Structure 1
Amino acid sequence: MAVTFSNLHTEAGLKSVNEHLSGKTYISGDQLTKDDIKVYGAVLEQPSSDLYPNASKWYQTVSAKLASSFPGKAVGVKVGGAAPAEAAPAKPAADDDDDDDIDLFGEETEEEKKAAEAREATKATTKKKESGKSSVLMDVKPWDDETDMKKLEEAVRGVEMEGLFWGASKLVPVGYGIKKLQIMLTIIDDLVSVDTLIEERLTEEPINEYVQSCDIVAFNKI
């Protein structure tokens, strides 16, 4: 069962995380899971080690794990661009009623043709609704320390695509006064390719005025 927290930008929210992590390395036990990634993405910065020692230690541990792009530790997670194995598509159940209204010994009428087309359209719509979703954690890197990070984030969030939903974000220090934007997004797998999003939208004009490069830190099937 997924672990959830609320108001992680407040003292009460951080306190609840800190208490939950007492005696634990990760949110759901001794392994990094999607619960850790979701909470990590919602916490704006590393919690105070004096006020929230458990949460602060956990934050450092998760940061190190993601930064090292470890392979195979979290089930269903893609780290550093390594895609998880695609699940085999479910075989649609046979529709026993498809031919109920068809006269097998006569010609198909216009009404029967329209009914068949309606059934096919319903099947296609149902299949589209059942399309899987994925949660992605992405690093967006600026050109230098003079890049306006507020405008960078506005440009990134300004990208709109069917099946793309932007989530929580925060600025993470890189060094030499440079910060990168770390942002969560949710995608509908059949509608959005993260690689295409990066190559054709986030690193092309006019956004490349602010964005130097993008990296997929974690990819988790929902």
Structure 2
Amino acid sequence: MTSFDVSLESGLKKLDEYLLSRSYITGYHASKDDLTVHTSLVKPPPSDFVNVSRWYNHIEALLRICGVSGEGCGVTIEGSAPASKEAITTPPVADNKASAVEEDDDDDVDLFGEETEEEKKAAEERAASVKASGKKKESGKSSVLLDVKPWDDETDMKKLEEAVRSVQMEGLLWGASHLIPVGYGIKKLQIMMTIVDDLVSVDSLIEEHLTVEPISEYVQSCDIAAFNKI
């Protein structure tokens, strides 16, 4: 079981070294272990801890976009009580001021909980209204996190990212990205994208666009790191 004491600078340094060659606390996908450590940080880590800051910002982005559902392998935080089940499974709520319109919108959608009876009724009424007006129901969307690996440490990662983002098609929207060290001076590109399910197939996107010439000049392989319905 992995253990950290993030209340001390020495603990943050240990975590920073641990994340040098890792994207997540345990495993290859975001899990409840990441939420446990994320929750124990009372504020964003100092920028001096490059790897911790990169990991922290990535988990923040996942929580805003699609949440974290992986079980994890187990992690403990020294000097603090074990996180409750509710604290681990429920993403933290951002402490931001919102306008009255934004607050009304937030009341309509519960991103991480189950639908209430009122929400179900409202959804049924909207569906009936769309059907009555002859409008086509909007396709579902998914949030996808891609790991894009270069050929070697001499690959220009800026050009690699430009090549990836040059792929444009209906139903595809590129999002935030960052570089993650994987060892021996090599870094991989981790990039978020949002797709319309009926218009974009991730497997086809990778096979027919991201791993063929001229992009294959920079990209050795491209894998799905996380896939979540929106």
The alignment's TM-score, normalised by the length of structure 2, stands at 0.47
Query: Whose helix proportion is higher, 1 or 2?
Result: 2
